[in-house]
Amino acid sequence: MDDLIKLSDEAVVEIIRRKDKNIFSEIIRRYQEKLQRYASYLLSDDYLGADATQEGFIKAYINLNSFDVKKKFSSWIYRIVHNEAMNLINKNKGNFLLNPEIDYDSGVDLEDELIKRELISKTHKCLNYMPILYKEPLSLFYLDEKSYEEISDILRIPVNTVGTRISRAKGIMKKLCEKHTK
């Protein structure tokens, strides 16, 4: 088991495909939290996020033989869960609110808990109005610390577009906060 932890995702996938399907649990362990957080953020709902993640893992397992081990596994599995989340968004159009429990760091270290809470509450309001188009790269860049190249692979958009969307998202965020937290 210790050896398994040291292996890369791609190597683990090779073992699952060739020798032992039960090793798929290692993949789930590695990605469950990250993927669930990403899906929950996109869907603004923890339960829907969990559904998208579970469906994503099932689809990943079924289609594991289509994965090219020369490529990055994380981008591949993020893409699957992303698609699942988008399917759910399309099914529940116009029904998206941000989960009020999600916590965002303002980037400012605030001593006063009250001010901090108020700031978080205001940030939630702003994010409620953030279009999904900008939510996607923003969450991958800040929450999951993905590179522009990886975000490009996950969202299937050119690297330049990733940069543009993240930059615009910051501007939109600022405007939204000014408009909705007065």
Partner 1 sequence: MRKTHKINTTDIEKKVMEKVTTNQITMKPRWYFVLGSTLMIAGLASFAVLATFLTNLTIFLLKKHGPNGQWRLQQIIESFPMWVPILAIVGIVIGIWMLKKYDFSYKKNFWLIVLAFITSILLTAFFLDYTGLDNIWMKQGPMKHMYQFNDEEVYRRGSGRGYGRMMMQNR
Binding site for partner 1 (CB under 8 A): 17, 21-22, 24-25, 28-29, 32-33, 36-37, 40-41, 46-47, 49-50, 53-54, 57-58, 61-66, 101-105, 138-139, 142-143, 152, 156-159
Q: Which is nearer to partner 1, 35 or 94 (CB)?
A: 35
How far apart are CB 123 and partner 1 at their closest, in Å?
Answer: 9
Three-state SS sequence of 28-94: HHHHHHHHHHHHHHHHCCHHHHHHHHHHHHHHHHHCHHHCCCCCCHHHHHHHHHHHHHHHHHHHCCC
Q: Which is nearer to partner 1, 1 or 62 (CB)?
A: 62
How far apart are CB 89 and partner 1 at their closest, in Å?
Answer: 18
Q: Which is nearer to partner 1, 7 or 120 (CB)?
A: 120
How far apart are CB 21 and partner 1 at their closest, in Å?
Answer: 6
How far apart are CB 114 and partner 1 at their closest, in Å?
Answer: 18
182 vs 172: CA distance, rounded Å: 16
CB atoms near residue 30 (< 10 Å): 16
Query: CA end-to-end span of the chain, whole Å?
Result: 54
Q: Which is nearer to partner 1, 75 or 89 (CB)?
A: 75
- SS3 of 2, please? helix
